[in-house]
């Protein structure tokens, strides 16, 4: 199956503009995501990367309005999906979009699957709700989806309980649930985090195969740049709630513009990360310091206290995301020179 963005809409399938999300606290609201913009074309793959706490998962949840409100509130921005702003839809209208046209796979399947329903019942529920299928038709669809995601003996596994399946099997069930209604967009939030390396590779290969077969777009949230290198067309790098770099995947890996992106790449052994010698021992070069707390960000550039290229200007003026070279955007006063 293939998808078109909409018969009357030409342009990105998903277009996020200036998304700002606030987190309520006793001492006052904190901006956990600020001014985030990106787009995903029909059939394309966007990777969103960054350290834990940078706001990438909250961005994904906010796109489909899945973040709990309160304490979380979308303070500004637009989330245009097939030309419609999801932030302005009624709850009933949004329910018709979620699961049917845009779906999400979460990073921990054991807490996302309901332990008191069989996996087949959980897949069939969305099929009945969105497609108006009968119970027998929805069960047939559930079996077919389990087969598509590579679960052996799907006719038997359809009646299994979540606790009877391995972590890799449960993640495949989550993917089957998300894709059962053939959505145009799949948001995958750290889909391999809790799995061992072999199963991670299998799940990523599965997602790539299903995407190619269905022509759907994918927004992949991850902290693993190795996964991004293999799976994505375009990359958004986030730090302290903001986008600090955005570029086609090949350009980003060959010529990172933001010092934070360059630091992430230097720490990856599989990508030829730099090695420093300490006491006769070789180790990968790490980014010094820690990610600042959102409520206590430094003035100017949030990365400046960890940045080897920081100058006085970086403390005074917050950099804006702008074109640095070609199709590469970066929020930096002193970007890394192109090699």
Lookup: tokens for 287: 């980014």
Q: What region does 267 belong to: left with phi over 0, alpha with psi -120 to 50, or beta? A: alpha
Query: What pLDDT is attached to residue 78?
Result: 96
Question: What pLDDT, on a 0 to 100 scale, did the predictor assign at position 256?
Answer: 94
d(CA 249, CA 102): 24
Nearest Cα residue to 79 out of 92, 97, 96: 97
Q: How far apart, in whole angstroms, are the C-alpha atoms of residue 121 and residue 117? A: 6
For residue 5, what pLDDT is reported? 41
Strand pairing category for 84-85 and 102-105: unpaired
For 100, which DSSP code? T
Instruction: Kindly report the pTM of this predicted structure.
Output: 0.89
Rounded Cα–Cα distance for residues 165 and 110 (Å): 10
Identify the CATH class of 14-232: alpha beta
Segments in the chain forming alpha helices (H)? 56-63, 91-97, 109-112, 119-131, 135-148, 154-157, 167-179, 197-214, 225-231, 249-254, 259-266, 312-316
**Could you give the CA distance from residue 163 to residue 114 in angstroms, rounded to a whole number?**
10
CA distances from 304 to 110, 246, 259 (A): 39, 19, 10
pLDDT at 3: 41
pLDDT value of residue 109: 67
Closest CA relative to residue 244, chosen from 331, 334, 336: 331
The CA angle 305-51-311, to the nearest 5 degrees, is 20
Strand partners, 73: 22
* Cα–Cα distance, 87 to 235 (Å, whole number): 24
Q: What is the structure's pLDDT at 193?
A: 76
HSE-up of residue 28 (Cα within 13 Å, Cβ side): 4
Cα separation of 175 and 199, whole Å? 14
CA neighbours within 13 Å on the CB side: how many for 289? Answer: 12
d(CA 199, CA 167): 9
Name the token pair of 297: 């960000």
CA nearest to 35, candidates 8, 59, 13: 59
Write down the domain spans for the chain: 14-232, 239-330
pLDDT at 51: 87
Per-residue pLDDT for the chain (339 aa), expressed as one digit of tens each?
Answer: 344 344 455 689 999 999 999 998 888 889 999 999 999 999 999 999 998 888 999 999 999 999 988 899 999 999 999 999 999 999 999 999 999 999 999 877 667 899 999 999 999 999 999 999 999 999 999 999 999 999 999 999 999 999 999 988 998 999 999 999 999 999 999 888 777 888 888 888 889 999 999 999 999 999 888 889 888 999 999 999 999 999 999 999 999 999 999 999 988 765 555 555 556 666 667 888 888 888 889 999 999 999 999 999 999 999 999 998 888 999 999 999 987
């Amino acid at each position: 199956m293939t998808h078109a963005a909409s018969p009357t809409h030409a342009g990105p399938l998903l277009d996020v503009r200036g998304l700002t999300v606030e987190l309520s606290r006793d001492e006052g609201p904190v901006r956990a995501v600020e001014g985030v913009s990106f787009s995903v074309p029909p059939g394309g793959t966007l990777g969103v990367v960054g350290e834990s706490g940078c706001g990438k998962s909250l961005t994904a949840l906010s796109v489909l309005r899945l973040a709990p409100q309160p304490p979380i509130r979308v303070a500004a921005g637009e989330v245009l999906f097939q030309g419609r702003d999801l932030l302005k839809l009624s709850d009933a209208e949004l329910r018709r979009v979620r699961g049917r046209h845009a779906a999400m796979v979460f990073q921990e399947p054991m807490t996302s699957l309901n332990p008191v329903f069989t996996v087949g019942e959980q897949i069939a529920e969305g099929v009945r709700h969105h497609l108006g299928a009968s119970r027998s038709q929805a069960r047939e669809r559930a079996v077919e989806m389990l087969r598509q995601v590579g679960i052996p003996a799907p006719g038997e596994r359809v009646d299994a309980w979540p606790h009877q399946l391995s972590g890799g099997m449960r993640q495949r069930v989550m993917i089957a649930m998300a894709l059962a209604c053939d959505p145009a967009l799949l948001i995958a939030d750290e889909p391999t985090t809790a799995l061992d390396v072999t199963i991670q590779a299998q799940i990523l290969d599965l997602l790539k195969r299903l995407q190619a077969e269905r022509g759907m777009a994918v927004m992949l949230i991850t902290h693993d740049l190795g996964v991004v290198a293999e799976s994505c067309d375009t990359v958004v790098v986030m730090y302290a709630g903001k986008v600090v770099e955005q570029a086609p995947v090949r350009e980003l890996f060959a010529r990172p513009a933001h010092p934070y992106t360059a630091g992430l790449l230097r720490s990856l052994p599989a990508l030829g990360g730099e090695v420093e010698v300490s006491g006769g021992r070789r180790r990968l070069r790490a980014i010094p310091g820690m990610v600042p707390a959102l409520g206590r960000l430094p003035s100017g550039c949030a990365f400046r206290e960890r940045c080897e290229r920081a100058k006085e200007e970086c403390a005074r003026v917050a950099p804006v995301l702008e074109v640095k070279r070609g199709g590469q955007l970066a929020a930096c006063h002193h970007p890394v020179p192109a090699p």
